[in-house]
Structure 1
C-alpha cells in the first residue's frame, strides 16, 4: 500500500514536459517535394508541426523546442537536420542533403515524440507512411494561417473560425519628433516559491512529500529488521526477555558464591 501511494504521488509530481509527452501528440506534415530527389543535392523543404494534427503548439507555460527532420539509413546511420521557424504558426523550413540509399524519414517535434513520415529513396522520391493518428471526419478546426495553410487543411473538418496571425504593432511618429532614448525594460522579478522562501534548497513541496514518504517506508522496514534480528527463531519477544532475566539472575548467584 505504501509503495502504491508513493507511485501515485510521484506520477502527480512529474515535470510538465513529461506529462505532455505522455498525454499529447503531434504530427509533421511536409509541403510538396520535387518530383525526383537526387543524391548529394541540397533541398529546402517546408514542414508543419501540428499538435493533435490540427493546430499549432499551445501548451501554456511551455515551449515546443527544436524541430527538424531525421533520416535513418538501412545501416543505422542517422542524419539530423535542424529546422527554422517561418512566419506562419507551426510552419518550418529545413535544408537537407542526402546520400544515395533508402532512408526512414521522421519529424523531430520538440517535446513530442518523433513522427514517422515515410520512406525516402535517393534517387527517387518519398513514400508516405500510414497516418499514426486518425483525425475524425467532421472535426471542428480553427484557421490560424490566413492564405498559406498546412497541406490537407481543413482535414475533412469544419472550420469554426479564422485567426490569422496579427502583424506586429508599430507606432508612427512625426518626422520632426525628437528621438527618444531606448531603454531596456526592467526584468520582472520572479516570485519566490514556498520551498525557496523557507530555505528548502529548491525542493518543491510535491517532491518533498515523495522524499518524506520514502524515508518513512525505509524507517519502518529498518525497525522491522531490527526487531526480527533480536527475536530468536521459535521464541516470542516476551520469551526472549524472560530468558535474558534468568541468565542475569544466574550470573548474580554465581558471583555471590
Structure 2
C-alpha cells in the first residue's frame, strides 16, 4: 500500500529538504502541487505555471548571459531553449521526486515517472512561481541555479537543432525547403504522441514521434539527417 501523501507542515519539510526552500505560505505550496485533474481540488497550479514559465525564463536567461559573457545571442538561444523545455523541467521534477507529492489523477501520475510527463514540467514551473511569490526573486533564483546551473555547465557543445541543421544542409545544394506534416496523434489529451513526417524534394520522407508537434518535427528532422549520413545514429538519438 503506497504511503499517504504528506500535507501541511510535513509536506513543507519534505519539499524544503529537496529544494532548499522552506515555504511560509503552505496553501501556496499545496496549490503549486495540485494538477487540474485532481479529484475534488478547489484550486490548481495553472496560474502559477503561467507565472513560473516567465520567472524561470528570466532567471535562466540572466544565468546564461553571466555564464557565457562573450557568447553571441545565436549561441545562447539554443542553450536557453534546451534548459527551459518541458523535458528538462520534467527531469528536474523527477530528480526532486515531485511525483510523490502531486495531487493529480492517478492515471496521469502512473505515466509520469516512466516518461517524465508534461504534468511534472508544469508542476516545476508552478513551484518556481510559488517560491517567487512566497520568498521573492532571490529565493526563486537560488532554487533555479541549484538545479539548472549544473545542466548549463554540462552543455559544453551547442545543443542539437535538427530542424535548423536540416534546413542548412538542404540549402547547400538546392532551394528546396523541408515541409512538415502531422501524420497522426494518439494517446490521451494529457499525454499525446504526435507522428510527423518531413518531406524534401528529391528525398524520401522521414518520420518522427514526440509528445508535442515541435518534438515530433525535431525527431523527424533528426531521422532524416541520420539516414542521409549527416548525423551519426548516436547524435540522432541524443
For this structure pair, what is the TM-score category when the shorter chain's length is used for normalisation? under 0.3
Normalising by structure 2, report the TM-score: 0.23
Normalising by structure 1, report the TM-score: 0.22
Larger Rg: 1
Structure with more helix by fraction: 2
Structure with more strand by fraction: 1
